[in-house]
């Protein structure tokens, strides 16, 4: 998404990027929940444990990304406007 001086779009590229990343992480968390169920149904606690590990890492990254997005939207991060 390219913002120009005449563009009246309310989101700059950086905010859009954070929102997109957060959407992708949120969708991944839903998928990981299914992967965990599949691994448990297959009797593979090792696989389920790995999927939980990946899930937890993405969940933590999603929480961190939320803080970055808030800062970008408030103008306290990524202040360059051009």
pLDDT tens for the 82 residues of the chain, in order: 555 556 677 889 999 999 999 999 999 999 999 999 999 999 999 999 999 999 999 999 999 999 999 999 999 988 665 4
**Is 18 part of a structural domain of the chain?**
no
Rg of the chain on CA atoms, in Å: 17
Cα separation, 50 vs 73, whole angstroms: 34
Report if residue 42 sits inside a domain.
yes
Residues 6 or more apart whose CB falls under 8 angstroms from that of 16 comprise 1
Structural domain count, the chain: 1
- 59 within some domain: yes
- Which domain, by its residues, includes 63? 28-74
**pTM listed for this prediction:** 0.78
Residue 8 belongs to a domain: no
**2 assigned to some structural domain:** no
In a domain, 61, yes or no: yes
């Amino acid at each position: 998404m390219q913002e120009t001086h005449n563009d009246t779009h309310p989101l700059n590229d950086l905010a859009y990027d954070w929102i997109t990343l957060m959407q992708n992480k949120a969708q991944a968390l839903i998928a990981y929940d299914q992967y965990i169920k599949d691994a448990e149904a297959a009797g593979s606690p090792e696989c389920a444990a790995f999927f939980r590990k990946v899930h937890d890492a993405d969940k933590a990254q999603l929480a961190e990304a939320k803080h970055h997005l808030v800062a970008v939207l408030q103008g306290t991060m990524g202040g360059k406007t051009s």
